[in-house]
Amino acid sequence: MSNQGSEFLSEYGYRWEIESGYKSIKRFMATTTSKNFVLRFFYFAFACLLYSIWRAVDLLMQVELNDEYERSPAVTADSVLILLKKQTGIG
């Protein structure tokens, strides 16, 4: 494979990670039909915060339990969302 081809694949791989990240963040977002930009932006920003907290907790748990970090989460997003719903009643 040419050097240019491998650079393209590398760049595409980064793009794929970004797309996957947005898909994961959307799971933490509250649904709304509001057209209010401020409200929609708040929901997105709050979902980003929840996603970041989830990833940080997962990282800390993996390092504490296994002394290493693997890409696949030990603490799933579903378990975090269920816990949030149980504790807050929201969701």
The predicted-structure confidence for 13-51, as pLDDT tens digits, reads as follows 777 777 888 888 888 888 889 999 999 999 999 999 989
Element (H, E) at 83: helix 77-88
List the chain domain ranges: 3-88
Dig out the tokens for 78 from the structure. Answer: 């579903």
Per DSSP, helices labelled H in 27-76 are: 37-66
pTM greater than 0.75 (yes/no): no
- The amino acid occupying position 40 is R
